[in-house]
């Protein structure tokens, strides 16, 4: 029986899958609003079509714990953390010298991240930054991928206020989670900068030494030298202000880059499934898998770059 080269699949299986896919596409097109606008309502059962999506930007509150609102995005983040911890435990509790497929995939992922950290930050700093960078990458990526599981966001429950709300939501689509990750990245960049430079790191933002030197020169009658020093001092103060502003702007850019891309992807999937139900959204699922990986790599990679810049400044001062 003929097989597709390199795939191990026989031609009848491939043909059968293709026929089923096309059949589901035709049924979805006819039952969806796009097909109905062209062909009219053909009287197909209502369960075939998908209800019109109503995306909501604020996360829905499920219940309160000591006055703290627990939202569906928090539940989604907890599931991601439980999955990562459980997956890591299962992989590492029976480590083998000759790894199996699952252990090999896990080692390949972490090994690639570790090599990436060392290539960017150097061997010593790469080891220091690896736990943070790997944690951010895995958390962002698996947040994005777990929300693509069919049915993840369709489970509903009734909250304490009597409203029907969705039980689960991708944590990346709640702006609070990208903001929290951006703040974590910001805090660790400043921490490693202070740890490497000490008080010298603060001078990057508040460098008024030249101003005081200029005032001292003017007080001693060296007017020209003092004015030059004052001019340079005010430039240094302005540059420090820009440095501090850029640090804060990173928080905003990190937050809205991740939130915007993840939310847009979720809305794209909802609209695709609504316009043509069943299989039309499958290619977009593949696209969102790639987008989740890219966004996780960008978030973790930029964090690594900013960490490296903060530490590299220390090395330049010592040189």
- Coil, helix or strand for 10? strand
Residue 9: per-residue pLDDT: 55
Residues 54 and 43 in one domain: no
Domain boundary at 31, 49, 67, which?
Answer: 49
Q: Is the dihedral of CA 30, 35, 40, 41 positive or negative?
A: positive
251 close to 186: Cβ distance less than 8 angstroms: yes
Residue 315: per-residue pLDDT: 40
Q: How far, rounded to the nearest angstrom, does the alpha carbon of residue 88 sit from its chain's CA centroid?
A: 20
Q: What is the pTM for the complete model shown?
A: 0.83
Q: Are strands 68-71 and 156-158 parallel, antiparallel or unpaired?
A: unpaired
Residues 73 and 196 in one domain: yes
37 — phi, psi (to 5°)?
A: -70, -20
Residues 131 and 31 in one domain: no
172 close to 147: Cβ distance less than 8 angstroms: yes
Residue 197: per-residue pLDDT: 78
Distance CA(49)–CA(212), nearest Å, equals 73
Distance CA(70)–CA(259), nearest Å, equals 19
Residues 86 and 143 in one domain: yes
Match 């043909």 to its residue by tokens: 15
| Exposed / middle / buried, residue 121 (Cβ in 10 Å: 0-12, 13-18, 19+) | buried
Residue 77: per-residue pLDDT: 94
Residue 5: per-residue pLDDT: 54
* Number of domains the chain contains: 2
Residues 19 and 100 in one domain: no
Residues 117 and 73 in one domain: yes
| Structural domain for 19, as ranges | 1-49
Domain boundary at 9, 28, 49, which?
Answer: 49
What is the separation, in whole angstroms, between the first and last Cα of the chain?
70
Residue 173 is given by DSSP the state G
| Residue-wise DSSP of 15-45 | HHHHHHHHHHHHHHHHHSHHHHHHH------
Residues 198 and 267 in one domain: yes
CA contacts within 13 A on the Cβ side of 307: 27
Residues 59 and 30 in one domain: no
232 close to 244: Cβ distance less than 8 angstroms: no
Q: What is the pLDDT along the chain (319 residues), one digit of tens a residue?
A: 454 555 555 677 778 878 887 888 888 878 778 777 787 777 767 767 777 777 778 888 898 888 888 999 999 999 999 999 998 888 888 777 777 787 788 888 899 999 999 999 988 999 999 999 999 999 999 999 988 887 787 788 888 777 888 888 989 999 999 999 999 999 999 999 888 878 778 877 887 777 777 777 677 777 777 777 777 778 888 888 888 898 899 999 999 999 999 999 888 888 888 888 878 888 888 888 999 999 999 999 999 999 998 887 544 444 3
Residues 151 and 12 in one domain: no
Residue 316: per-residue pLDDT: 47
Residues 222 and 245 in one domain: yes
Residues 7 and 110 in one domain: no
Residues 45 and 188 in one domain: no
Which residue, 301, 248, 256, 1, is CA-closest to 129? 301
């Amino acid at each position: 029986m003929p097989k597709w080269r390199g795939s191990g699949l026989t031609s009848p299986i491939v043909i059968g899958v293709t026929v089923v896919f096309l059949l589901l596409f035709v049924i979805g097109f006819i039952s969806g609003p796009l097909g109905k606008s062209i062909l009219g309502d053909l009287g197909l059962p209502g369960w075939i079509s998908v209800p019109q999506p109503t995306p909501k930007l604020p996360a829905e509150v499920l219940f309160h714990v000591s006055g703290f609102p627990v939202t569906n995005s928090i539940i989604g983040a907890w599931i991601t953390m439980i999955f990562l911890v459980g997956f890591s435990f299962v992989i590492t509790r029976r480590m083998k010298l000759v790894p199996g497929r699952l252990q090999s995939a896990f080692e390949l992922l972490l090994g690639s991240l570790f090599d990436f950290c060392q290539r960017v930050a150097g061997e010593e700093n790469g080891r220091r930054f690896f736990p943070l960078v790997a944690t951010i990458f895995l958390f962002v990526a698996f947040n994005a991928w777990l929300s693509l599981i069919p049915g993840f966001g369709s489970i509903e429950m009734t909250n304490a206020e009597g409203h029907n709300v969705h039980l689960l939501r991708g944590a990346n689509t709640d702006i609070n989670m990208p903001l929290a990750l951006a703040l974590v990245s910001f805090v660790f960049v400043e921490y490693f900068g202070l740890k490497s430079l000490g008080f010298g790191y603060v001078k990057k933002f508040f460098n008024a030494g030249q101003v005081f030197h200029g005032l001292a020169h003017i007080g001693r009658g060296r007017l020209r030298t003092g004015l030059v020093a004052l001019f340079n001092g005010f430039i240094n103060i302005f540059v420090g202000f820009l440095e501090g502003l850029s640090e804060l702007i990173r928080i905003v850019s990190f937050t809205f880059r991740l939130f915007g891309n993840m939310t847009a992807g979720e809305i794209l999937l909802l609209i695709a499934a609504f316009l043509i139900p069943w299989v039309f959204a499958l290619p977009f699922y593949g696209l969102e898998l790639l987008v989740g990986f890219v966004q996780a790599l960008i978030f973790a990679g930029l964090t690594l770059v900013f960490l490296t810049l903060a530490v590299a400044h220390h090395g330049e001062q010592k040189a």
